[in-house]
Structure 1
Amino acid sequence: MSKLMEKDGQSIFESIKKINEYGAEYWSARDLAKVLDYKDFRNFETAIEKAKKSCETSDHNVSDHFVEATKMVQLGSNSEREVKDYHLSRYACYLLIQNADPSKSMVALGQTYFAVQTRKQELQEEFELMDEEKKRLAIRNELKEHNKKLVDAANSAGVKSNMEYAIFQNHGYQGLYGGLNAKDIHERKQLKKSQKILDHMGSTELAANLFRATQTEEKLKRDKVKGKHNANKTHFEVGKKVRDTIEELGGTMPEDLPVLEDIKKVEKKHKKLTRNT
């Protein structure tokens, strides 16, 4: 197959790509059938059904990739008629072309195009996941260090025992999490007692807690706060300020952010990758 034909084929498949109201790409099954030289859409639907089964076998949600829709088509009398259509994801197109008639020249071209493009998308998603994991590791480690400084600052303010520090920490959480203490957050996020809240946070939630910790530490020292009651109050107020800022910016409240894989497992995975590179 010539490079020119491959380039032209890519242009054809890109030219029929559409973007929905949410900014997501999709392909019309009707448009794709036409490009692949299917004269009768009913024959193409046979390939669609096979592709759906492949999607299901691959443990993907079929309705996420094959969305039933309608399309207006022009009739010979200049009138229009509504016909059945599907909005296809890139992955759906890949599966569909794998199940299409291989004797059609554009099917072979489409197989190459969507295989390459689907793999590119997978790699991009993998890189994005790696970036998120690296952010989590960096912020979690930074938070560990700042929590040590927060302990010292709270101790200087009058928070002495482990029980008093637990109460102090809860005040910070209650400010940031809309009144939820550590136990409440565990229950809200369905974590086990043995699981640490901070170890299952994403980078966004960790960053909010890092800001809470650093600003509380600074305020305790700057304002020379004395007495455990005043220290608790300061921690709550700083947590509340961080929450208010998130709300003003239209962000997701920390208690509503997803629970992620244990950071210890992520750390082990990255150490293994480092050793192998």
Structure 2
Amino acid sequence: MQPFLGYTQWRRFEDAIKRAITSCKQSGNEPSHHFAGVGKPIEGGKGAVQIVNDYHLSRFACYLIAQNGDPRKPEIANAQKYFAIQARRQEISDAIVADIERLELRKQTSEEFKALSGAAREAGVQDRMFGVFHDAGYKGMYGGLGRDAIKKLKRIPEKENLMDRMDTTELAANQFRMTQTRDKLTRERVKDQQSAIKTHESVGKEVRNAIKHIGGTLPEKLSPAEHIKQVENRVKITAPKMKLKEKDAKGLIGKQKEE
């Protein structure tokens, strides 16, 4: 790594290593896990062999050495830039993973809503009562609050779909409510409209009780998330930023001579 970072003298490079080891300690990490010291024989004048320190370095150690190197060296400056870009890429990666998870869960809840509507129809719920049926599930799960009351409480515009403003936690809880209601309607062969509505409310209450039991935040107390469309748009424009351009890492690794 010494020549790749522009150091021609070992002692200068070792100074950077020592500063990196100090930084490693100060960050609460164990240096021996990242800087494994070994002896390296080098030939001196008149054929004399001298043993000097050498190191097996982890990726974290390489990062610390670059951060503690001489920024006047182009190689060090480019290495610092490279690691900064990689850190930013990781931040973006973590954020986009969370966004994709929410998008996928929103898609699943949309599909489950349709499946539950089908099961409700099979159970005898008439089309004009679908609003009442679905509201019953919300009321059971949200402590008596129906869809419109939830939106009012969370200050969500009337025209917006409630589930488009749910975060992954709230979406997952509602998906569970819907899947369990659908299964219960089918399993118990419910064929009465009023019974189907009561079943949905009952399952909603059970989900609410489960959230209470494990110490979770009750759904009506969860803050509304940004609109799902904003998340979708962000995912579309974030992908290009994940690509590390060659010029951004230029100079970090020198060209190797062909043997």
| TM-score, length-scaled by structure 1 | 0.58
2-structure distance, mates of 1:202, 1:106: 43
User: 2:96·2:235 contact (CA, 8 Å) conserved in 1?
Assistant: no
Matched, 1:175 2:140: yes
Among 16, 22, 26, which residue is 2:26 paired with?
16
Corresponding residue number in structure 2 for 1:148: 114
Matched, 1:241 2:206: yes
- Give the aligned CA root-mean-square deviation in angstroms: 3.3
Per-residue deviation, residues 209-249 of structure 1 (Å, max 9, x unmatched): 11111111111111111222211111111111112222222
Quickly say closer, same or farther: Cα 1:124–1:271, change in 2 above 3 A: closer
1-structure distance, mates of 2:141, 2:14: 58
* Amino acid across the alignment from 1:16: Q
Moved more, 267-276 or 185-194: 267-276
Q: Secondary structure at the match of 2:190?
A: coil
Matched, 1:158 2:124: yes
Matched, 1:260 2:231: no
The structural deviation recorded for 1:272 is 4.6
Moved more, 252-261 or 180-189: 252-261
- Larger-Rg structure: 2
Q: Which runs of 5+ in 2 are unaligned?
A: 1-6, 29-67, 244-259
Matches for 1:101-116 after TM superposition, within 5 Å: none
Quickly say closer, same or farther: Cα 1:191–1:123, change in 2 above 3 A: same
Corresponding residue number in structure 2 for 1:135: 101
* Amino acid across the alignment from 2:197: N
User: 2:105·2:171 contact (CA, 8 Å) conserved in 1?
Assistant: yes
Matched, 1:206 2:216: no
The structural deviation recorded for 1:106 is 9.8
* Amino acid across the alignment from 2:199: T
Matches for 1:208-227 after TM superposition, within 5 Å: 208-227=173-192
Matched, 1:190 2:155: yes
* Amino acid across the alignment from 1:140: R
> What percentage of residue pairs aligned between the two structures are identical?
34
1-structure distance, mates of 2:80, 2:141: 45
Among 3, 9, 15, which residue is 1:5 paired with?
15
Matches for 1:91-102 after TM superposition, within 5 Å: none
- Alignment coverage as a number of residue pairs: 190
> Relative contact order (alpha carbons < 8 A, sep ≥ 6): 1 or 2 greater?
2
1-structure distance, mates of 2:111, 2:124: 21
2-structure distance, mates of 1:107, 1:181: 63
Quickly say closer, same or farther: Cα 1:167–1:4, change in 2 above 3 A: farther
Q: Secondary structure at the match of 2:133?
A: helix
Per-residue deviation, residues 23-64 of structure 1 (Å, max 9, x unmatched): xxxxxxxxxxxxxxxxxxxxxxxxxxxxxxxxxxxxxxxxxx
* Amino acid across the alignment from 1:264: K
1-structure distance, mates of 2:134, 2:97: 29
Matches for 1:44-59 after TM superposition, within 5 Å: none
Quickly say closer, same or farther: Cα 1:115–1:13, change in 2 above 3 A: farther
The structural deviation recorded for 1:188 is 2.0
* Amino acid across the alignment from 1:183: D
